[in-house]
Amino acid sequence: MFLTEKPNYPSFFDSFNKEKKKKKEFDLISQSFDESILRRLNTLCNSHSSVTINFSWLSSALAFLSFTHNQAITLLSNPKLTDSSNFYLDDSVKLLDICNSIASEIERLRHRRLLLKFALHLFNNNSEDAEKLRRARASLTDWDNNLKGYRYDSSKNLEHLVIDLAFMLKEVPRGKISSDERIVRRTIHSVGLVTVFVAGVVVAALRGSTELGVAVRAPSEFLWADSFNLLNSAISAELTRPGKKRHLLEELDDVEARLREVIGVMDDAGGEKGGSLNGAVKELERVTETLGEGLERLSNGVNEVFNTVMSSRKEMVERMRVGQQKQQTK
């Protein structure tokens, strides 16, 4: 009797089990992605389902957007699913444009803040000099006049970009597809919903809108749909809240309130106004610094989103290139 080595041919069941294991891992990644979105969403809305819109909240929303794109890359980088991946690549270009436009709006606010800084400089140097007081008051008035052009002229491009991005949500490829392709397209739709929502809120806040430019709702198939739609409703309620101040952004309202207080004291012809003016100027100085810090935080958030999307696009393109090369060498 002779012992012979049995040939080790790969069986059909080995291949089937590998594919089954790979599919299960892909499903688990998709589930983890949904759960991570849900956790992040819950941090953006308090227990009373209300929202206070300020630079801190907007920065958190942008961090959530950046996180969503970063988490999605594992699901979107399958080199075999180029149709859906190409859709994400096309879609994300809109977000890069939105980031650039938001950065431009932040710069506008920074330039407007210089009007406040100039007025404060004049107040602090010599608050008794009539000419300096006149120039300081003119600078404060320019803040308000500058707002009108900013609000009605500069935000149109931003609004149109968000609307275009929302329209692309309806164009996610459909039809008979594999289970992996379905997960990828579902992920694209998730990322699109989060992107349109966050971009819409940032745009509404910067332009002082009373409504979101685009209304989006998550379908019930998503684990995080209830939280997403609840947050959306909370934002809409804040935009239309009775008695809401002039601006959606808390910091801009604070600046305007203190600015009008300073002007009011300056225009008060009766009584002693020296002490009152000094106190009002100090409060204006405080909220002006808070505004500057908020703008810096928001700018960092926008840069983070831009860099994350650029990195995701680069990684996707590289994986697709490697995948195509492997197919060609077979």
Closest CA to 198 of 168, 172, 228: 228
Task: Provide the 10 A C-beta neighbour count for residue 98.
Answer: 26
> 30 in a domain, yes or no?
no
Phi (first) and psi of residue 327, to 5 degrees: -65, -35
Q: How confident is the model at residue 216 (pLDDT cuts 50, 70, 90)?
A: confident
Instruction: List, in order, residues 6 or more apart from 261 with CB less than 8 Å away.
Output: 280, 283, 284
Q: What is the pLDDT of residue 285?
A: 95
Average pLDDT, the chain: 79
> 128 in a domain, yes or no?
yes
Rounded-to-integer distance, Cα 322 and Cα 330, Å: 13
CB 203 within 8 A of CB 162: yes
Closest CA to 102 of 23, 14, 207: 207
Express each pLDDT in 289-303 by its tens digit: 999 999 999 999 999
Domain tally, the chain:
1
Does position 13 have pLDDT exceeding 50, yes or no?
no
Express each pLDDT in 226-241 by its tens digit: 999 999 888 888 877 7
Rounded-to-integer distance, Cα 299 and Cα 303, Å: 6
> 130 in a domain, yes or no?
yes
Q: What is the pLDDT of residue 273?
A: 57
CB 151 within 8 A of CB 208: yes
Average pLDDT, integer, range 12-25: 50
CB 203 within 8 A of CB 102: yes
Structure tokens at 117: 């800084």
Name the DSSP class of 127. T
Does position 188 have pLDDT exceeding 80, yes or no?
yes
Q: What is the pLDDT of residue 328?
A: 63
Rounded-to-integer distance, Cα 71 and Cα 250, Å: 31
Q: Helix, strand or coil for residue 149?
A: helix
Stated pTM of the model: 0.82
The boundaries of the domain holding residue 159 are 50-321
Task: Provide the 10 A C-beta neighbour count for residue 231.
Answer: 21
Average pLDDT, integer, range 24-46: 83
Average pLDDT, integer, range 61-73: 92
> 213 in a domain, yes or no?
yes
Q: What is the pLDDT of residue 207?
A: 76
Rounded-to-integer distance, Cα 271 and Cα 180, Å: 76
Average pLDDT, integer, range 156-173: 67
Phi (first) and psi of residue 47, to 5 degrees: -65, -20
Output Rg (C-alpha) for the chain, integer angstroms.
27
> 330 in a domain, yes or no?
no
- Expressed in angstroms, the distance from the first to the final Cα of the chain is 42
The half-sphere exposure of 6 on its side-chain side, counting CA atoms within 13 A, is: 3
**Chain centroid to CA 78:** 26
> 28 in a domain, yes or no?
no
Task: Provide the 10 A C-beta neighbour count for residue 299.
Answer: 18
> 269 in a domain, yes or no?
yes
Least confident among 169-178, 183-192, 242-251: 169-178
* Residue with the larger pLDDT of the pair 8 and 241: 241
Distances (CA, A) of 33 to 74, 129, 186, 301: 10, 62, 11, 21
> 35 in a domain, yes or no?
no
